[in-house]
Amino acid sequence: MKIHPITDKIFALHADVKSEDLFEGIWPIPYGVSLNSYLVKSEKIALIDLVRDWVGAPGELAGQLASIGVGLDDIDYLILNHLEPDHTGWLSDFRAINPRAEILATQKGIDLVQSFYKLEDGLRPVKTGDRLDLGEGVALDFFEAPNVHWPETMMTWAADGGVLFSCDAFGSYGVLGDRIFDDEFSAEEHAFFESESLRYYANIVSSFGLFVKKAIDKVSALDIKVVAPSHGIVWRTTPGDIITRYARYAGYLEGPREKEIAIVWGSMYGSTEKGLAAVIEGIEEEGLPYSIHRVPNEDVSWVLADAYKSEGILVAMPTYEYKMFPPMAYVLDLFERKHVWYRKALRIGSYGWIGGAKKEYDNKIAPLKWESLESVEWAGAPDEDILELLYERGKELAIAVKNS
């Protein structure tokens, strides 16, 4: 990878990580992820955000700095917008190379520097309104942005150039290659990154939608020319696009959401699957778009992305040993953690000798505040009457979503 100038004093660096590792130990990244850092070079030199020692990322960082004649030991200030180890995991090694750089973060960030990395010296807490002067008229301002993504998070602003270093906010999964700017990608590539930014948001940030809204309000007074996140594309031509997109994602928390249905289903021997086909016929009759994911065959990461944006949810699963089909219990648990709330919902499913999923399901969805249609359960294979009922329920769900 190469270093990319944003202005004559600001440079974007990134490491593309393609790994079988799960992001945060949970989320698959089959298309990889970029770890972005930024260099601000004036009389003093500041590096904004670091990397984890992950698939050669520190070597990429050092090599890209060296390509413009900057050594790691030349850095005067290391600014840590966010302490999650994808951006800080290499901090102890950096400190060993450069013992003199001052490390700036919010007070909560400094606390995490101490607890994660056991560093005590050269730490400077900063807060909203604080400014770091780098000389020659270049300065960096700090904005606390709690819970985007952790409580200690902040953003950094370079008024000279109008560059917002937003860390996780406005980020995406997906490696970049040797292009990083929005104007360097085709419409097709942007569609890919849009899909991966939604999945990233749903997986990583969705629990904090209200904080994302607050952060967007906080930076909206700035004359932003460039949005420079810590993952994904750097937006220098249409920075408003990614901000608007994130505002839409944050809005999904309370609505409006997309008039679509996210179908998540599991089936043991085909009876629930057969019933589901009838519901889908009803949805299609109403002409409503839907996404469909089978669990556990598909990873819940993609289920979350579609569920997060959709007004309607259809859960299809059999009773399993008197309770819910176990993979669905995990899905609903994540729906609660990731705030997939206030949906129009329908549950269907078959059972063998006795139902039992209902009680557990009702308990699981109680905190989600879903508006549920009457569930349909049946013994064994669905007969014609059940299939007709399921078809009608599919239509009802589609109509409820359309009218929402």
Which of 107, 81, 100, 80 is closest to 91 using CA atoms?
80
CB of 30 to ligand FEO, least distance (A): 18
What does the alpha-carbon distance between residue 126 and residue 160 come to, in Å, rounded to a whole number?
Answer: 20
What does the alpha-carbon distance between residue 42 and residue 71 come to, in Å, rounded to a whole number?
Answer: 14
Alpha carbon separation from 215 to 93, 148, 149, 189, 203 (Å, rounded): 32, 8, 11, 27, 19
- Contact between 144 and ligand FEO per CB under 6 A: no
Length of the chain: 404
CB of 208 to ligand FEO, least distance (A): 10
Which of 85, 16, 13 is closest to 46 using CA atoms?
13
**For residues 53-82, which are near ligand FEO according to CB under 6 A?**
82
CB of 403 to ligand FEO, least distance (A): 37
Binding mask 157-196 for ligand FEO (x = CB under 6 A): -----------x----------------------------
CB of 231 to ligand FEO, least distance (A): 6
- Contact between 34 and ligand FEO per CB under 6 A: no
* Residues in CB range of 366: below 8 A, 6 or more apart: none
Q: Which residue is nearest to ligand FEO (CB)?
A: 84
Among 87, 199, 293, 339, binds ligand FEO (CB under 6 A): 87
CB of 82 to ligand FEO, least distance (A): 6
- Contact between 49 and ligand FEO per CB under 6 A: no
CB 340 within 8 A of CB 369: no
- Nearest residue (CB) to ligand FEO, 145 versus 262: 145
- Contact between 319 and ligand FEO per CB under 6 A: no
* Residues in CB range of 207: below 8 A, 6 or more apart: 337, 338, 339
- Nearest residue (CB) to ligand FEO, 49 versus 377: 49
Size of the site for ligand FEO (CB under 6 A): 8
Number of neighbours of residue 123 by Cβ within 10 angstroms: 17
CB of 129 to ligand FEO, least distance (A): 24
Helices 300-309 and 326-337 cross at an angle (nearest 10°) of: 50
**For residues 229-268, which are near ligand FEO according to CB under 6 A?**
230-231
CB 165 within 8 A of CB 231: no
Alpha carbon separation from 288 to 285, 340, 398, 403 (Å, rounded): 8, 20, 6, 12
Binding mask 290-309 for ligand FEO (x = CB under 6 A): --------------------
CB of 271 to ligand FEO, least distance (A): 42
Among 16, 60, 86, 311, binds ligand FEO (CB under 6 A): 86
CB of 77 to ligand FEO, least distance (A): 20
What does the alpha-carbon distance between residue 166 and residue 144 come to, in Å, rounded to a whole number?
Answer: 10
CB 126 within 8 A of CB 132: yes
**Interacting residues with ligand FEO (CB under 6 A):** 82, 84, 86-87, 149, 168, 230-231
